[in-house]
Chains A and B, each alone.
Chain A
Amino acid sequence: MAISISRRKGEFQKLAIGTAGLLVVFACWSRLAENYHPLILPSPHETGKALLALWKEGSLVSNVLVTLSRTLCGCSLALFSGFALAVLTKGTTFWQALVRPILTLIQIIPPVVWTVLAVIWFGIADHVAPVFLIFVVTLPVAFVSFFSGLDSIDGQLVEMAAVYRCSRLKTITEIYLPALIPHFVSTVSVGISFAWKAAIFAEFMGSTTGVGFALSTANSNLQTEKVFAWVLVLIAVMLVCEYGLLTPLRRRAARWSA
């Protein structure tokens, strides 16, 4: 009891310090904006107005939805393939020797190259280029994380299950899968943030919809307040994702990592 109170107190303190820091940043922004043209540094007020306008014309919601759906699509493809590749390569040196260098190669090539290639190959009109980039960026991360997850499975528990005649299916569902849950959650966390950034980047470079495209349009039209408004949207989406989805998920998964 005492421990949980003091821990909560510590968390509250951290939260207070963090909020104070953000407020300082915000104050600096307001103060600086007074000295500059809105084209260079729009004030919080102008940014807020731009944000409201985006909301009213509907482009905020529609663009966020497009980017989110691309992120989810590319990210789940990458998670699924990463998991399959990890399982496939696990026991066999042949597949491991084959797959690992290819994934390293994919990882070494900078995302901008993949984006350029994706635009050349798939054009800019549809979803394929962003989804492709998200997939390519997230896949190696997912693979490595799942691979180490499989490594961490406790062979002693599997032996125990064998002595007590647990079926193959029971061993998989009751030992392998629960043991992988913490890795799955951490993979999803890392994967989603990678995928989200990749989505914005790809849309910025070569797409006609989505938050990244809206950013790029605002940029080329010299609507700096809109750029700022979109940045606030990006931050908001990631915060919602982190505290609305990933933190509760991690908390639930903590039981499994004992």
Chain B
Amino acid sequence: MRVVVLEYVGVTKEFAGDEGILQVVDDLSLTIKRGEIVALLGPSGCGKTTLLNMGAQLLKPTRGRVVCPKGTRVAYAFQEPRLLPWKTVEENIRFVQDNFLPEPLGGEIRERILVQTQLSDFRNAYPDELSGGMKQRVEIARALSIQPDLLLMDEPFKSLDPALKLELRSLLLAEHSRQQFALLLVTHDPGEAVLLADRVILLSRRPAQIRTEIALKAPQELRTLADPLLAGWLDEIHGLMVGAQ
């Protein structure tokens, strides 16, 4: 029995807007266990980010519960990097690392991740000196550096070029098999979902409901988009997505 790190129980989320109440999530239940990689796949604006924000306890559900056991170490790689402009790359990472890890250990982990994300030459650079893709790498490096139990990622590879995407995906998988955190990933790219996830959760248009869930059983390290198995999954997902229109 693996430990549950995040649980959505009958979650509904509504926002009060100018044109009345906007329902974003509708009675959604989902359980994420330690070591799992779960991808939330859905059309843009369907409420995926709202689900992540509730998972991070930044938002409260209107109805239902979002349970994250006490002491769960949560990291969140935001869609737009949220870095402190007055701190360097390394200071930005330390800023959150210091809350969880004592220094000799934190420094070792930081060092490893800076090297793997190819940021070690930029450790003393300030965010405004970095390109968009590099800031996103810092965002991911910061999230990995606290050794999280639960990692939330919102379109983490959005503005990266294909080569770097590939590299960061394998870094993420390597860190995942090392740290065994639970990963809840939001994406609108089916290819990314089938490359990374153990479970792909297909969401409806807003308000988000779970339309279907696909379990993918094949070691992530061996997956490529050329693989007929993946092509089959992708076809299935595309079919379902077209059906949703």
Contacts and interface: CB of A to CB of B under 8 A. Distances in A.
Interface stretch (A77-85, A88-96, A137-145, A152-160): A152-160
A2 to B, nearest CB: 17
Contacts of A167: 99
Nearest to A154: B82
A165 B95 CA distance: 11
Contacts of B95: 164, 166, 174
Contact of B86 (A166, A170, A258): A258
B76 A165 contact: no
A26 interface: no
Contacts of A258: 85-86, 126-128
Contacts of B146: 164
A163 B126 contact: no
A167 B58 CA distance: 15
Question: Is the contact region of chain B dominated by helix, strand, or loop, or is it mixed?
Answer: loop
A255 interface: yes
Given A255-B126, A258-B86, A163 B99 contact: no
B181 to A, nearest CB: 14
A166 B58 contact: no
Contact of B85 (A159, A162, A164, A256): A256
Interface string A211-250: 0000000000000000000000000000000000000000
B24 interface: no
B133 to A, nearest CB: 18
Interface string A152-188: 0010110110111111001000110010000000000
Contacts of B80: 156
B157 interface: no
A159 B82 contact: yes
Interface size classification for chain B:
20 to 34
B82 A166 contact: no
A164 B127 CA distance: 19
Contact of A256 (B58, B82, B86, B127): B86
A163 B86 contact: no
A160 B96 CA distance: 9
A159 B86 contact: no
Nearest to B99: A165
Given A258-B127, A258-B128, A163 B76 contact: yes
B183 interface: no
B78 interface: yes
Contact of A163 (B56, B85, B127, B128): B56
Interface residues of A, number: 18
A9 B75 CA distance: 47
Contact of A157 (B75, B82, B128): B82
B110 to A, nearest CB: 14
A256 B128 CA distance: 11
B15 interface: no
B126 A178 contact: no
A159 B76 CA distance: 10
A256 to B, nearest CB: 5
Given A255-B126, A258-B126, A164 B86 contact: no
Nearest to B74: A163
A258 B85 CA distance: 6
Nearest to A162: B58
Contacts of B76: 160, 163-164
Given A156-B82, A256-B85, A258-B85, A164 B58 contact: no
A15 B85 CA distance: 32
A164 B82 contact: no
Contacts of B96: 164, 166
A146 to B, nearest CB: 19
Contacts of B100: 165
Contacts of A165: 99-100
Contacts of A160: 76, 78, 82
Contacts of B30: none
A157 B85 CA distance: 10
Interface of B: 56-58, 74-76, 78, 80, 82, 84-86, 95-96, 99-100, 126-128, 146
Given A157-B82, A159-B58, 12 more contacts: A156-B78, A156-B80, A159-B82, A160-B78, A163-B56, A163-B57, A164-B75, A164-B95, A165-B99, A166-B99, A170-B99, A178-B84
